[in-house]
Amino acid sequence: MKKILSVLIALFVSILCSAQNFTIPKAALSIGKGDLVPSLVSGQVIYATGDAKANTGSSMHIPAELANGVVIVRYRVDYYYKNKIHSMYYQLLYSNIIPDLKFNQASMENPIPVEANEKLGIGNDTVFVVIRVADLDPHLVLCAQRLPLQIGPYWYYGEESLLAGTAKYLTFRPLLSKHDTIVFPDGILQSLEDIVTKTNSSGADTFPTVPIKIKTVMNAYPIQKHPIIDASEKIIQNQYLNNLNLEALVEFDGLKIHIYFPENFAQYFSTEYKLGDPIWFYGNIVYVMNNELHMYGRDFVLEDPDEIVIQRQNLIIQMSRQTENLQAAQKGEKEDSFVDVTQTIPKGGYATYKRFFIKDDATGKFNEDTANIEENHFDKNGNRVARMMWYDKTGMVRNTQTFKYDKKGRLVEICFYDSKMFKEDGRWKVDPKRSRIFNKDTTVYTDTKDGTDAVTTAVRYSYAPTTEHPDYIKHEKYNKAGKPIRSETIYEQDAAPASLCEYDKFGNILYKKDNTDKDFEYKFEYVYAGEKIIKGIGKNLLEGEVFEWTCEYDKKGNVIQKTYPNLVYNYRYNKSGKLIEMTCKDKYGNVKDRKIYRYDKKTGIQVLEIEDTDYDTFKICRFWYVEFSKNNWKDDLDPWLLAKELTE
């Protein structure tokens, strides 16, 4: 009921703090030895064996920790992700159970049906359950309150998605318009518009419960429920909405919807929601009266959960890897299982130290984030060969990236390593001399008569022992001038490309599609003056939105202005043609975004970047500053003074 983003961040901070508890997130049932074990779901038994030795050696990949008497029930869950319905089959694994004899012959090929609450067997000790599936499933990831764990081909999840109190956001049918159809329990397909136009206008009509999600805005905060006068409405209110005395009135695609909540929700609306901002409501249509919908409000959020899934997946992967390092350290692994990735500055090269500051609006001062200091090493040709992120200002390196190039200066390998963590004198420290590889991207270039083909293969790693896992393959094509022609990325688990881009002969994008985060698909057309774009037209192929912009250039061919219907971007360059300032103004002349850049005279690298953004709902001021030595760093830096002091 509060903003989902803040809740999820707090949740994952909590998980991270306890990441050293590297265990399968199994849940103990209130069932002991000799007790009947009921099925928690309706589905199919696909495996049932009481022999622990047979379980650990079976093709079902059962961890030894769970092998003492096992029953696996396969069950189906339908949910919506990226506005598409997904039908997923999960495995609910019971441990410490003596299976009922009728399930002993169950297999993947010959499953045996089982109903919820039907007897699966008898407890052999405290019975545990855990859910598993082959990937980081969006629905399970969003429900997770403990860190999922990957063992072999499966990810293991806690029981949270089965609990009544868990917010199962992805199980609500997302409606993008009043014309989207809803499948009711009786099999009838109706849209919200159908419901409004085909119901009895003289009284209140009820509908079967179907969970839906709508995105809208509120122009007024919820108030006390309106007086109920109509007899038919009063009966429905008393039966379904009796304890929901807070009423929000919103519009969705031209329809009026009354949404009812418990009175304690008033504080969440008033403290967390800003009128006019987007809001997502979750609930059930209960009845229609006078061409207006009335809805049981289950929850509201201020950020679409679809957008958070990928963030959580990435965080889970990061924390899982950190946890594996901690587990390895606790087990006292051999030193030769780690690698030394301490870096030295190449002969003839140099190092930079990039500092990060963010403005505190309360004090007006810029505070340094010492956990985001970035150390970079460059060779004599100016190629970056190493990037290290510090643990804090003491210079301890928490992770390292290394870069390799071919004879033409093209990047052919990127490796990402994480330093071993250990405790000393009560605080965590890191040691880059004992590091593990997490990711490795390798690129192979093939030069042809028409240009160059580049294929990047990415792999990720797990440990005990160290094992490579395919991640994705990226195919890129370039013309003779080195401009991109086409790029597509395919992940191991997907047959279709996760992202696809196509370009014109000048390297301008013509088509872009992406399925990795939020589905989007765009097509672009241009009006040229030589190689320069003077007008662009973009179309959102999923939503039908069309937008245009125009470009203006200086005598050197640098774009100095881009004009969109509601925004104008202006650009300024130094004598070398490098961008030194970008300003974005709205149609009223208000500055919404400003970026300033400065460069080092000797190396040409960027030494200062200031970002000052104010888009009403998003406001931030921060800057990055590059040092060329580890010593004599000044505190309390002012970015605006630095911009004046440094040569443009």
Q: Which pLDDT tens digit goes with each residue over 572-593?
A: 999 999 999 999 999 899 999 9
Is the pLDDT assigned to residue 18 strictly greater than 60?
A: no
Spatial distance between the Cα atoms of 589 and 194, rounded to a whole number of angstroms? 44
Q: Is 314 exposed, middle or buried, given 0-12, 13-18 or 19+ CB atoms closer than 10 A?
A: exposed
pLDDT, one tens digit per residue, over 420-458 is 887 788 777 888 888 888 889 999 999 999 999 999 998
Residue with tokens 């998605």: 161
Give the HSE-up count for residue 288: Cα atoms under 13 Å, Cβ half-sphere.
18
pLDDT attached to residue 335: 52
pLDDT, one tens digit per residue, over 384-422 is 999 999 877 778 898 999 999 999 999 999 999 988 887
Give Cβ neighbours of residue 51 (< 8 Å, ≥ 6 apart): none
User: What percentage of the chain carries pLDDT values higher than 70?
Assistant: 91
pLDDT attached to residue 517: 54
pLDDT attached to residue 360: 86
Residue with tokens 């009135």: 249
Give Cβ neighbours of residue 227 (< 8 Å, ≥ 6 apart): none
Task: Please compute the mean of the pLDDT values over residues 322-343 and round it to a whole number.
Answer: 66
pLDDT attached to residue 16: 43
pLDDT attached to residue 324: 63
Task: Please tell me the class of the 172-301 domain.
Answer: mainly beta
The model carries a pTM of 0.58
Domain ranges of the chain: 4-170, 172-301, 473-553
pLDDT attached to residue 596: 97
Cα separations in angstroms, 324 against 182, 320, 466 = 44, 6, 11
pLDDT, one tens digit per residue, over 491-526 is 765 555 678 999 999 999 999 998 765 678 999 999
Q: Which of 111-120, 464-473, 534-543 has the lowest mean pLDDT?
A: 464-473
Mean per-residue pLDDT of the chain: 88
Is the pLDDT assigned to residue 203 strictly greater than 80?
A: no
pLDDT attached to residue 7: 42
Spatial distance between the Cα atoms of 80 and 363, rounded to a whole number of angstroms? 44
pLDDT confidence bin for 471, thresholds 50/70/90: confident
pLDDT attached to residue 19: 44
Is the pLDDT assigned to residue 366 strictly greater than 50?
A: yes
Could you give the angle at the alpha carbon of 435 between the alpha carbons of 430 and 437, nearest 5°?
A: 135
Is the pLDDT assigned to residue 8 strictly greater than 70?
A: no
pLDDT, one tens digit per residue, over 589-643 is 999 999 999 999 888 899 999 999 987 767 889 999 999 999 889 988 999 999 9
Query: How crowded is residue 570: how many other Cβ atoms within 10 Å of its Cβ?
Result: 16
